[in-house]
Structure 1
Amino acid sequence: MPLSYAQQGKSVALVIGNASYSSLPADKDAASDARTISDALKVIGFEVETVSDATKADIAQAISATKGRLGQGTTLLVYFAGHALQLDQKNYLAPIDLKLAGADDLLTAGVPLEQLLNELGGRPSASTIVIVDAAEKNPFRSGKITNADAISDGLARVTNLPSGTLLAFSAAPGSVGTKSGNYAGALANAFKARGKGLDVILKMARARVVVSSGGTQIPWDTTALQQSVILYPDEDKPVAVAPNACDLAAGHPSDPERVGPSVDYANLDPQIAIPACEKAVAAEP
């Protein structure tokens, strides 16, 4: 049936590229990756704020400023390139002033990814996309800090996202990617595909990275989006598709064109789904 469209809002991006660290190896690709993403997002109409070599205070200030730029229906994209670390199945973005005496210091010295998701996600009638371009071996494993082995390689899987949020990693949870700008380049190219849904864009980027890495790096994403998002719409077409009651009650997990979240058959309520879908079909036969 024809899709109903949500009110079009502006598109806003926060891009962070952390390359020069005080106590970690330099991330030589982070600055160029951030520029690649910033340039691509500007081309497709995003209002982009780019922050380079950000301290923890800088990141907090950037997040606060970004929240002030959001309005009803805004599509927000956050991209982080730099070091990110996993401790006890939690992920932490590394500011350039990160200093750890022991692994547990990461709890306060790092920027919790979960906190960032909760601060920026879950807004009404809007979509938040968070992309973390970081997948590496534990840089402290040589014993430079106490309990260094508690920090795991790669990033941890995230299962509890705020409503209306999508999270993407440059490599699958727990795995290590290559640092050669391949993910940023793949995303930048995919962003410029007009009229493509975000799910298609991420699949395009994933396929390119898999080929360029010889199959050793597979980008990953998980979603709680409530709308189908088009980052670079065709002329005179809206950026988001709003789900109707039938979509919300009976969206099938295997349907790549579904609008809104999926509903497992075990959780489907026929008393709600059948009347909602009958009404939708009657309205748009």
Structure 2
Amino acid sequence: MHSVLRKLYFAGSDFLEGTMRHPVRFLMGCLLALGLSAWALDAAPARNLALVVGNDSYANVTSLQKAVDDAQAIGDELEKLGYVVRRAENVDQRGFSRALVAFDADIQPGDRALFFYAGHGFEIDGTNYLLPTDVPAAQANQEDLIRDASFPVGRIIDGIRQRGAGVAVLVLDACRDNPFANNFSRSAALGRGLARVDAPEGVFVLMSAGAKQEALDRLSDQDGNPNSVFTRSFLNELAKPGQTLVEIAKKTQVDVRALAASVGHDQTPAYYDQVIGDVVLSDAAAQAGPQTAGTEARSTVGPNIKTQINITGQTQAGAGVQIGSGTQIGAGVMIGNKEAKIAVRNQANPPGSDPAKALNVQQGGTPTDTQLALLQPDSKLGNKTQQPLARAPIASFMRSNSGWTVTISLPEPATALAYRMGEAGEFKETGLLDVLDQRTGARMPNPSFPLSPRAPAGVIEVRYRTADGTDVGPFPIRFDPDVALYQNQRQNLEQISGSWVEFRDFNGTLVYFTTLLSYRCAITEVRYGLNGAPPLTRFDLPVCNTKDPFEIPNNAKTYLKVPPNTKSISVQLTWRDRSQSEVNTVEKD
């Protein structure tokens, strides 16, 4: 509730600044704020969300062996506990940024958010940084290179809290060997481990080692366990039902300390608890998993099993099969980041009046047990009947002054396309274009439809009709206007980098920043330099107005007066996801 009021306060402040001279508009704004607060109080129930990141393959510093396996194992266990899990593996700075932005966008007020990171971490002047795979190989006097390329733990915490999460849990297996050991001196300040974390209220942080300690990636070169010393212990406790966060942390401490001591190493995980009350991550009900009515058989898809699942028509992954978050349906099916085959029949459930019961998960077995529905046949399974595989469409969002335009890209020829907001209600067809689709011989369905500029975050469901008259779907598409606006404006700016600024001669030499002002909702900071100087000087932008994002306020500073001998200006942007653009140099004609 505190986060909702905070957002309403800032939204009200922005509204008040532009409407004090218009009492009617001000009154309407007040009524709108009251309506929003009422909507927030009636929000959806809290959910369990997680982002797990594992980085092994570092380009410029020491690589690791177990971080990706650690992240996969944690993600699999969290899915068993009912978490919706996003996964990111071996991500560079851009990929890490996008994963964080997407995760933050998923969070709604009251949700429980868990962030797990396995990989290199580094502490500089008391601040802990998580390192993407493209972090540069910095020298002892180049700490700023690490700061600029990495992700401060505090900023990750802030991002989760700003979305209003009820509880934020960070688990960091990031205190491993110093990635810059060959470059830095062995000083205590720069050589080992992470610093303690001052967790704000509502945040619980568990670290694989205490302050300034180094965590073991493995006990020895002969250690065959796929997980680090910390993660293997944490996984064991995570799977036990009924334990609170503190109990999990304490038992993990005891186990890790004993394992490390067995090879003469000092490692004791540290935790920082500012969560009010007890939080239980696992209970018996969660481990049992949700039940599906009318389902006699159930299988859980795991990442280490050669798994076959069925998907045919509107049946997705068989009757009651739990496939977890991030599953990609289509050519090269991925489940838990592992390749999977697709089966449409299991002899244990022969076809009958209910086709869904004949389409359960088949794990293992012999080729005679299954028929494939793959886009590319598998010769090892002999002459089996190939059936079509339903693949999900994708959507792009474009914002204009009049509102949103959603454009759907379909995986196969279609004769109709329909959509609805949410999971209930009537579908609305998009209509037909005056264009013939040579594949179907019929008019092509309009791939686009409009949304109000004030459309709230939620799920859009789409379905389409194939040339043979089969209705496929519905497919859920997540719409978050804040994320869509950022992505749309950033994409536009990246495509017109040569027009970010413009020179004009009028009572002197002027540089106009009008384009950047128009797309400022994607930017947090603009810096520039003249005549080849690095972009260090800040050019201030007005605050983003999401209700009218392209409007430039009347009192906004749109240009910069520069010396007459200025021949070029170099500009660098800091995007909303904290990454930076390349330096863009514009020459004066």
**What range describes the TM-score normalised by the shorter chain of this pair?**
0.7 to 0.9
Q: Quick one: distance in 2 between partners of 1:125 and 1:53?
A: 27
Tell me, yes or no, if structure 1 residue 138 matches structure 2 residue 168: no
Secondary structure of residue in 2 paired with 1:115:
helix
- Identify which of 130, 143, 156 aligns with 1:103: 143
- Counterpart code for 1:65: A
Distance 1:22 1:35 in 2: 21
Taking structure 1 as reference, are residues 125 and 26 closer, same or farther at Cα in structure 2, changes over 3 Å only? closer
Check conservation: 1:38, 1:48, Cα contact below 8 A.
Answer: yes
On the 8 A contact 1:122/1:164 being kept in 2, the answer is: no
Q: CA deviation at 1:221?
A: 0.6
Take 2:176 and 2:135, find their aligned partners in 1: how far apart are those partners?
16
- Give the Cα–Cα distance (whole angstroms) in 1 for the partners of residues 195 and 158 of structure 2: 17
Aligned to 1:54: 91
- Confirm or deny that 1:38 pairs with 2:75: yes
Listed one character per residue, the Cα deviations across residues 67-125 of structure 1 (whole Å, up to 9, x for unaligned) are 12112321111010010011111111000010144222112111111111111136546
Deviation at 1:171, TM superposition (A): 0.3
| Structure 1 segment 1-285 matched on structure 2, within 5 A | 9-101=46-138, 102-121=142-161, 124=164, 126-143=166-183, 151-159=190-198, 161-180=199-218, 181-214=228-261, 216-235=266-285
When you count strand as a share of all residues, which structure comes out higher? 2
Please say which of residues 71-80 and 126-135 is displaced more in the overlay. 71-80
TM-score by length of 2: 0.37
CA contact (8 A) 2:108 2:165 kept: no
CA 1:107/1:125 → structure 2, altered by over 3 Å: closer, same or farther? closer
Residue aligned with 1:213, SS:
helix
> How many residues in Structure 1 have an aligned counterpart in Structure 2?
227
Amino acid at match of 1:26: S
Using the alignment, how far apart are the partners of 2:164 and 2:75 within structure 1? 26
| Runs of 4+ more than 4 Å apart | 122-125, 147-150
Question: Cα distance 1:74–1:227, how it changes in 2: closer, same or farther (>3 A)?
Answer: farther
Structure 1 residues 179 and 125: CA distance shift in structure 2, 3 A? closer
Give the drift of 1:227.
Answer: 3.7
Once structures 1 and 2 are overlaid, which stretch shifts more, 16-25 or 148-157?
Answer: 148-157
Letter in 2 for 1:154: G
Rate the CA distance shift 1:175–1:207 in 2: closer, same or farther, 3 A.
same
- Kindly provide the CA deviation profile for residues 166-194 of structure 1, in whole angstroms up to 9, marking residues without a partner as x: 11110001011211212111111111111
Q: In 2, Cα distance between the equivalents of 1:194 and 1:122?
A: 30
2:130 partner amino acid: L
Identity %, equivalent residues = 26
Q: Could you tell which deviates more after superposition, 57-66 or 121-130?
A: 121-130
Counterpart of 1:192, as a letter, is: A
Q: For structure 1, list consecutive stretches of 5 or more residues without a partner in the other structure.
A: 1-6, 237-285
Q: What amino acid sits opposite 2:278 in the alignment?
A: S
Contact 1:24 1:139 in 2 (8 A): yes
CA distance in 2, matches of 1:29, 1:91: 21
Output the CA distance in 1 between the equivalents of 2:178 and 2:247: 32
**How far 1:8 moved relative to its partner?**
6.1
Q: Distance in 2 between matches of 1:169 and 1:93?
A: 12
User: Which has the larger helix fraction?
Assistant: 1
- Higher RCO (CA 8 Å, separation ≥ 6 residues): 1
Moved more, 7-16 or 55-64: 7-16
TM-score by length of 1: 0.74
Alignment partners' CA distance in 1, 2:155 and 2:284: 34
Q: Cα 1:148–1:108, aligned 2, differ >3 Å: closer, same or farther?
A: farther
Larger radius of gyration: 2
